[in-house]
Structure 1
Amino acid sequence: MQTRSLKVQSPWLRIARLISITGLILSLGSIFTFIVMNAVMGEVPSIESVYWQRLFVSRITEVLILPGVGLLVVGAIILSLKQYGFFRNTWISVLQILVVLIVINSVNITLLAGRVTEIAVRQWQTSVFIPEYMNLKSAEDIFGAVNVVMMIICLIVPFYKNEN
């Protein structure tokens, strides 16, 4: 029978991991609500339903997604400084690059979401569909999907790394 010695981990490292995972959960959970909302809205939503959806999306982005990404960054920085180092090996480098890409993509999504919401408000005020809305909304959805994939990879890589 083989025994493993348990490494004594600093409480700071445990907290940093918890912070990172909490950030990912906040962000991913919120993004999945947007996916459900898009599915429920259907292919041809009314101007009023688009308006209310965009108000919800904007608020959730401000309250959950951006703080979640912030927590992910804080946790990643603490873990990199205290335990792993920067770009020390392949899997650490992958995670660190992904976190940077998630932040950059999140900034783009936030700016794009603001524009999409502005258009939705104008549509609601004028009761006229603005064609630019769908183009920007589609771009926002694509950037969001990319972020989801990167966040899921950030969750999976540490478990895969621990197995090998």
Structure 2
Amino acid sequence: MTSTKTKIPLVPGDIIHALKSGMTIGTKLEDWAGAFGHTTVRGENIVLTADIIELSKDRYGDSWLQDIDDLDAQKVRWSEGPYFARGPAPEGMSHWEPGTVEQVLELQARRQVLYDSVKDPEELALKLRELQRSPLGQNLPALKNITIYDAEAPKNGTAQNWDVS
């Protein structure tokens, strides 16, 4: 089978950005174990190299970069998506998507920062309310039975289950 796609519309030095987290891309050809991989994070800018472009190709020479300007084709390719767009990420693009576990984790991390830094209970309550009313605190997914592994826990695999609904 030969390639059915058009030429890759990108060259080394071009920038793309991740629209979703979790896509692993090859980054370096000269590796004894294969190709170095990098798992993308939403909002991350990726400066393309010759290696990234070469490693984006399948055995027929087709590349996922050929779909960079066609978001519908990306959805077809990966059954979800799109994952990438041309150019740098828009200013202020978050690394979490609304309605995802990443949103919940970011909210928890920001709450913890407040608990650690704000000592006055009234000010803390005010800041926590502001955080909950922000876009980060809205439209949270319905999560149940999240397992949180504690780095300080004994080495016997102790975990805590939390119902966050």
Q: Is TM > 0.5 for Structure 1 vs Structure 2? A: no
Rg (Cα) greater in structure = 2
TM-score by length of 1: 0.27
- By relative contact order (CA 8 Å, sep 6+), the higher-ranking structure is 1
